[in-house]
Structure 1
């Protein structure tokens, strides 16, 4: 069994990444998850923390990580000493051991709530972390950003009219200047499912699921959109360009579709979830760009690797996984992964 996993070269890896959340009490060990992801040829993983057990389990695999600083720690990161201490504890030892860490996200969806102190701290914390990386000789190797929800958008359709919400503008102008200066990506969490759930009678399923459809033309640019995700990404590009920046790349840090939901969550089925992810995978493997940026393949991290049974909120929140915790696929999208039994993975690790 071992040679099959070891033979997965990074060059053959899938272009898509995956979010590895752990808000659950029944997940397999990181060592077993490492086998699962390599057997699927997934080589890009996004964490919401910098779990040392996960990073150690993937040493020598070539898998590239995005690690995160949680919202609760963001205000303290405005201190240069705290930022340097966090990196010394959570990033530097793993890099020295051979881990691949390409990005640190400082907070997640901080403009979704009304914590104004947190919102005001994000950019100073990012600057502090970036300077600490430079002091450690890691500038250019690890970039710094944060992930936004689409709530930061005001108008978003047609995509060319995309603009940021006025309440977020004061924060986003200097934020974009930082991203441009440090050549860091703008991360956005996009869920066409939310639009469908809110208005299933008016949002065509084919359009949100990447299925064949006539598409929608942007009257200002003449560009035609045959799926909502690319329209959302281009609306963000338009909002960024409206503030004078053309050199900041937009990456989709989360997208997915729930396989189960509450009675008031239409469309949360394994069939639709499988269709969304399968069709998205096809687009990504085609290295397809959006209509506005056709030469730039869309960089996407699917949410999420596992169903997470302790996530609060509606039932859909606990059912975004590609896999059940026992390694069984929730639906078939052609990703055939192997989760080894516990004894096998322990022996392999030893």
Structure 2
């Protein structure tokens, strides 16, 4: 979903504080030329009770701004850094971490390092470097005594699946297995999550005949989909369970799934409205807070990051790409949604 980012245009995820183990998050994209400053954004987060943030790039100004407010951070390692990190060793990776991250933020404020974003979808050149880079960074964290505190993973597009219907038939695309299987081994051994970006909005607009709007929106009148003994009432749950089934198909059971991006736009398409965005994001918040889990994994909390904090006027692609914001630039909400 995310377009290529540069050092000038970067993205940040923010978690919403809640009594429910902080499972709900917001993605703060910065692909725009009219966005509030990092300092202003940090004040907005604080005023809304938001205590955690994820940065797509380790930008010094952003790290410093959120470090000053003791924000717990989830920091991305850019795709373009994977080649260097993969060809280095643990000591060089350690120096990279110190120079790019720990010089600007305390390790105590870092929760995850997300190594690469949608590499297998949009930056396949870097795919061969993904797991080696993760391993070197993990070894560096071990040297620093931080491997138990800071977890490593990578965010994938849901297109890593070649099959997702029904969810129990979930399977990874064969062409990605040479990367995914070693990664799953790493996640399993280190207790780290599998991260996925999923957008029922795109599934609907790309195939409205087979994806009913209500099923994409988590609507109450969605026609249930049966998968053996399990019943699905929305595409969100079905996608997560398809990922779980795909991991189990490769022999990995129990790896948690973190939804690193999901959301609904408010303009740029006939179903991209504030009303639909309020329905979708509101239902996601309700489900996560309830801890209901999914049909395949009932009662297992799902960590979710809503996209996006602001609209981003420089996003490429369809017009709707620019309109995922939940907040306006002055800090007011674009639509009614309970985030506290």
Name the TM-score, length of structure 2 as normaliser.
0.88
Corresponding residue number in structure 1 for 2:10 = none
Q: Using the alignment, how far apart are the partners of 1:244 and 1:287 within structure 2? A: 26
CA shift, 1:142, in A, is: 0.6
Q: Using the alignment, how far apart are the partners of 2:60 and 2:138 within structure 1? A: 21
**Structure 1 moving runs of 4+ over 6 Å:** none
Q: Do the aligned partners of 2:20 and 2:289 also contact (CA within 8 Å) in 1?
A: no
User: Structure 1 unaligned runs (5+)?
Assistant: 1-7, 337-350
Q: Do the aligned partners of 2:225 and 2:232 also contact (CA within 8 Å) in 1?
A: yes
Corresponding residue number in structure 2 for 1:142 = 150
Q: Do the aligned partners of 1:21 and 1:47 also contact (CA within 8 Å) in 2?
A: no
* Structure 1 position 184 matched with structure 2 position 188: no
Q: Do the aligned partners of 2:212 and 2:222 also contact (CA within 8 Å) in 1?
A: no
Q: Secondary structure at the match of 2:325?
A: coil
> Aligned match of 2:313 in 303, 309, 312?
309
Q: Using the alignment, how far apart are the partners of 1:37 and 1:13 within structure 2? A: 17
Larger CA deviation: 205-214 vs 246-255: 205-214
Name the TM-score, length of structure 1 as normaliser.
0.86
Corresponding residue number in structure 1 for 2:54 = 46
Q: Using the alignment, how far apart are the partners of 1:331 and 1:203 within structure 2? A: 25
CA shift, 1:131, in A, is: 0.7
Q: Do the aligned partners of 1:55 and 1:99 also contact (CA within 8 Å) in 2?
A: no
Q: Do the aligned partners of 1:159 and 1:235 also contact (CA within 8 Å) in 2?
A: yes
> Aligned match of 2:116 in 103, 107, 113?
107
Q: Secondary structure at the match of 1:154?
A: strand
CA shift, 1:13, in A, is: 8.0
Normalized per residue, which structure has more strand? 2
Give the direction of change, closer, same or farther, for the CA distance of 1:108–1:13 in structure 2 (3 Å limit).
same
Q: Using the alignment, how far apart are the partners of 1:215 and 1:293 within structure 2? A: 21
Deviations 1:95-145 (A, max 9, x none): 53x7521111111001113x5431111111111111111111111111111
Q: Using the alignment, how far apart are the partners of 1:172 and 1:239 within structure 2? A: 11
Corresponding residue number in structure 2 for 1:273 = 277
* Structure 1 position 254 matched with structure 2 position 266: no
Give the direction of change, closer, same or farther, for the CA distance of 1:149–1:9 in structure 2 (3 Å limit).
closer
CA RMSD of aligned residues (A): 2.2
Q: Using the alignment, how far apart are the partners of 2:94 and 2:335 within structure 1? A: 43
Q: Mapping of 1:1-350 within 5 angstroms?
A: 15-59=23-67, 61-78=69-86, 79-80=88-89, 81-96=91-106, 100-113=109-122, 115-213=123-221, 215-220=223-228, 222-261=229-268, 265-335=269-339
Give the direction of change, closer, same or farther, for the CA distance of 1:27–1:318 in structure 2 (3 Å limit).
same
- Count of residue pairs brought into register by the alignment: 323
Q: Which structure has the larger Rg?
A: 1
CA shift, 1:159, in A, is: 0.6
Give the direction of change, closer, same or farther, for the CA distance of 1:219–1:21 in structure 2 (3 Å limit).
closer
Q: Secondary structure at the match of 2:111?
A: strand
User: Structure 2 unaligned runs (5+)?
Assistant: 1-15
Deviations 1:159-183 (A, max 9, x none): 1000001111121111100111111
Corresponding residue number in structure 1 for 2:7 = none
